[in-house]
Structure 1
Amino acid sequence: MTDLMKSIEAHRDDYVEHLVKLVQCDTHDIDHGIGGGLEKNGQEYLRTVFEELGASRIKEDPLTEAVITACREKYHEGNPGHDYKDRYNLYASFPGTGEKSILFDGHVDSMPAGNHDNWLHDPYGGVIEAGKLYGVGACDMKAGLMASIMAVKALQDAGIELPGTVKIASVCDEEGGGNGSLVAAMHGEKADAVVVCEPTDYELIAAHMGWVFFKVETEGIAVHSGLKLKGVNAIDKIIKIIHALEEMEHRWLLTYKHPLLPPPSGNVGVITGGDAGSTVPDYCSIQLCVHYQPGMTYDQVVREFTDAVMLCADGDAWLREHRPKVSVYQTGNPFEMDLAHPFVKVFRDSFREAIGREVPIVGSPAGCDSRTWRNIALCPTLQYGPGRLAQCHAVNEYVEIQQYIDAIKIYASLILNWCK
């Protein structure tokens, strides 16, 4: 293992250069994937890397609306209505001497750069300064994706034969809700263990929250504000509903506990209603996200949320006759990995061997593709990758070079320990 770590340090400039080239590929999603995405730029580059490393299988897997529809019907997962032109996942396999396998999942898409003038450097320049590599997607999550590929190269560079099959899934449309990994799982991609390479800042994520995005709409009667008593204010009715949902959230706070995750919660992020201060509004809506824990289900959350809204309506003379409208427009299930599973111990041992300390095991309030590989592909799954959450979706996004190199060491150690 010592010789492997020395070899990785000796080749670090080469490994960093591969990441720089991927960051220089503009792969951003357009309107969270609804308007399409430019992932092909990155996938074409990754194909050349896979070919150079001698992958036995390289496969393009186009994203389609039919698969997303089927996934929504079966698993309450998937985000419909996206433009999939020239958007495809790219899979590579590197066979080894043994039968065990491990898959590394990473999304090649990024958020848009926004106003380039706000950046210290060209957001697609791949500039390195003071030990940090700057660029859109450098942290979220091209560093993790490339680190998994470079782990294979690191073993080759050290003259170490793979003890099992290593698979790489470079997926699209994660920033649009995770459609790429959903397509991969629906099409049967899997392995004996999966690592989702999202940034975790030297922590190992073994659970994350699920989420449901709701929209609630109320109607009223519009009149001049001077005749307020003859109208019905739809905003006032929404405020009543918001208070009812706060009571539901408080009840959940007292009911649900998890060793790695916060309690379930709801956040009202958008409120729309009214035309002028002089008019009683006849329409109002809120859009909100409810985060919920493993052990709770999508059906349960939707039922309890809807019941809270309708119970509030039952207590209001107007809403009793003019029922609020509740709809769901995006979902993602929670994720949890059994900490007693052998894969967890192997990861902890590999981390210790690679960088000489213990890895903290934590949960994440934000969801990611881990849920897909655990819940749909039914693979033992953990989330670990280089970078800090604070850098995700940020102006002047960067990843620390040392975190990236350390991830290569950890992944390479994990491949050896898990597959043998």
Structure 2
Amino acid sequence: MPEIDQAALIRFTQELVRIPSVHDPERGLTETPAAELVAETMRSFGWQPVVEEAAPGRPNVVAVLGGQRPGRTLLFEGHTDVVTEGDPQRWTRDPFGAQIIDGKLYGRGSADMKAGVGAMLFAAKALSEHDFPGRITVAALADEEGMMLGVKDFVRRGHAAQVDAAIVCEPEGQELCIAQKGAIRIRVDARGRMAHGAMPQHGRNPIPALLTFLSGCADLQAELQKEHGEHQLLGWNYITPTVFRAGDPEQINVIPGAAWAAVDVRTTPEVDHDQLIARLRAMCPTDVTLTVIDDRPTTETPPDHPLVRALIGAHERLHGRPPVFGGVPGATDGTILWRDAQVPIVTYGPGGKWIAHQVDEYVELEDLTTSAEVYLQTARLFLDSSFS
């Protein structure tokens, strides 16, 4: 029976958390050191990882492990980038100290999602040390927290072409997530004409037009929620303004010549994105232009899919009860795997579902090691073609 080296898994995860893999070129920070640690660890396992840049200084690390007889191909997927730690003074622990206190490993990215990366690596290692059917691809990718350049490059290079299904190892609090929300990121620009604040009749203020659009977003959100209700796994549809800028430079006594806002739209599977974008465009007043920055669909994997059933069996074996089905409130790299490569996905991994991006982020060590065991048992079941 394959066994996971739990002590080595914890040490690796600590080491990974200590790397501040925030993408912040002004601070000289990138995912590169984290990717190097992942690649070095894979080589220590006897694997032959490929390191490929999705963008300059933003490497993906991919390893393919071939089994001894025919079977399915399973992808374990995670990302090496983390969001900013923010103000370190707000933390009660060192954001990149990887301290272990009372069974919890603290640090930015501990849950989202360096614990998932560690768990998938050590689960695949344990399986690879014994005879197994099929093939495993292990991918630690860049830029999940941004525009998902890593997974887009992964798909573009053909790595997902032969994958039968994927586990996205994001923190979900032991929920088996078979659905995730769609995401549309929008920028809205309003044009005006500069003038003195004391003489507004000589200018055209872009701010009221932009505010009219944003007010319409609130009304449209209410309409969507009334039309589609609350999704059983994903909750409500949301249209959320997130950025507002006017004036460059900003001066209280100057009417700006332009203003813009960003809007983050999150959808459930019943919402048609093309129709929704058309409704948003129709709301734009004169001199307001809407640009779609990114459009990521919802994903749904049937509850009777072989990977879902394999994960149910593995979770129940380790926990003594079946997992709770859930949905991912945000978007993951799995969105791109689903959209661009038609790979069925499930999202399951160590860490609380709501802890990501928060101060004093942590992962429980028991959750880390148990998730690795679940990955191992899931792979053993799913890779066998006779399991259906």
Q: 1:396 aligns with which of 357, 360, 370?
A: 360
1:11-410 aligned within 5 A: 11-30=5-24, 38-55=30-47, 57-64=48-55, 84-85=56-57, 87-98=58-69, 99-155=71-127, 160-190=130-160, 191-220=163-192, 232-257=204-229, 258-273=231-246, 275=250, 278=253, 282-309=257-284, 313=285, 319=286, 323-410=287-374
Task: Answer yes or no: is the 8 Å Cα contact 2:307–2:378 preserved in 1.
Answer: no
Distance verdict in 2 for CA 1:23–1:278, change over 3 Å: closer
Name the counterpart of 1:416. 380
What residue ranges of structure 2 are gaps of 5+ in the alignment?
A: none
Query: In the alignment, residue 356 of structure 1 is paired with which amino acid?
Result: G
Deviations 1:146-167 (A, max 9, x none): 10111123346xx742233221
Whether contact under 8 Å (1:189, 1:377) holds in the other structure is no
User: 3-state SS of the aligned residue for 1:294?
Assistant: coil
Which secondary structure state, in structure 2, belongs to the residue aligned with residue 180 of structure 1? helix
Contact 1:211 1:291 in 2 (8 A): yes
Greater Cα shift, 271-280 or 203-212: 271-280
Three-state SS of the structure 2 residue aligned to 1:379 is coil
How far residue 215 of structure 1 moved from its aligned partner, in angstroms, is 2.2
How far does residue 182 in structure 1 lie from its aligned partner after superposition? 1.1
Following the alignment from structure 2 to structure 1, what is the Cα–Cα distance between the partners of residues 43 and 202? 73
Q: Count matched residues.
A: 378
Q: Distance in 2 between matches of 1:262 and 1:213?
A: 19
Give the Å deviation of 1:280: 5.1
Measure, in 2, the Cα distance between the counterparts of 1:407 and 1:23.
Answer: 18
Distance (whole Å) between structure 2 residues aligned to residue 220 and residue 365 of structure 1 = 37
User: How has the CA–CA distance of structure 1 residues 397 and 246 changed in structure 2, closer, same or farther, with 3 Å as cutoff?
Assistant: closer
SS of 2:16's equivalent?
Answer: helix
**CA distance in structure 1 between the aligned counterparts of 2:243 and 2:50, rounded to whole angstroms:** 41
Shift of 1:404: 0.2
- Percent sequence identity over matched residues? 25
Say which SS state the counterpart of residue 126 (structure 1) adopts.
coil
Q: 1:221 to 1:339 in 2, by over 3 A?
A: same
Distance 1:58 1:357, change over 3 A: same
* Paired AA for residue 18 in structure 1: F
The separation in 2 between residues aligned to 1:90 and 1:351, in whole angstroms, is 27
Deviations 1:358-381, CA, capped at 9 Å, x for gaps: 111111221111111222121121
Contact 2:74 2:166 in 1 (8 A): yes
In the TM superposition, what is the alpha-carbon distance from 1:391 to its structure 2 partner? 2.7
Q: 1:94 corresponds to which letter in structure 2?
A: L
Moved more, 132-141 or 259-268: 259-268
- What's the Cα RMSD here? 2.6
- Using the TM superposition, give the Cα deviation of residue 327 of structure 1 relative to its aligned residue in structure 2, in angstroms: 1.9
Q: Helix, strand or coil for the counterpart of 1:151?
A: helix
Shift of 1:354: 2.0
Q: Matches of 1:223 and 1:108 in 2, distance apart?
A: 47
Task: Out of 354-363 and 193-202, give the one that drifted further.
Answer: 354-363
Matched AA of 1:200 = E
Q: Give the letter aligned to residue 108 of structure 2.
A: V
Cα distance, 1:356 vs structure 2: 1.4
Partners of 1:234 and 1:329 in 2: CA distance? 21
Whether the 8 Å CA contact 2:39–2:51 is kept in 1: the answer is no
- Give 1:180 deviation, angstroms: 0.4
Which amino acid counterpart does residue 21 of structure 2 have in structure 1? T
Tell me which amino acid in the other structure corresponds to 2:155.
Answer: A
**CA separation of 1:226 and 1:382: change in aligned 2, threshold 3 A:** same
Of Structure 1 and Structure 2, which has the larger fraction of its residues in strand? 2
Q: What letter corresponds to residue 302 of structure 1 in structure 2?
A: I
8 Å contact from structure 2 (residues 183, 295) kept in 1: yes
Alpha-carbon separation, structure 1, partners of 2:75 and 2:339: 15
Distance 1:226 1:372, change over 3 A: closer
Query: How high is the TM-score relative to the length of structure 2?
Result: 0.88
1:252 CA drift (Å):
1.7
SS across alignment from 2:49: strand
- Relative distance call for 1:36 and 1:361 in structure 2 (3 A) is farther
**CA contact under 8 A between 1:248 and 1:308: conserved in structure 2?**
no
Runs of 4+ in 1 over 6 A off after TM superposition: none
Name the amino acid aligned to 2:111.
C
CA 1:137 to 1:225, structure 2 compared with 1: closer, same or farther past 3 Å?
Answer: closer
Unaligned runs of 5+ in 1: 65-83, 314-318
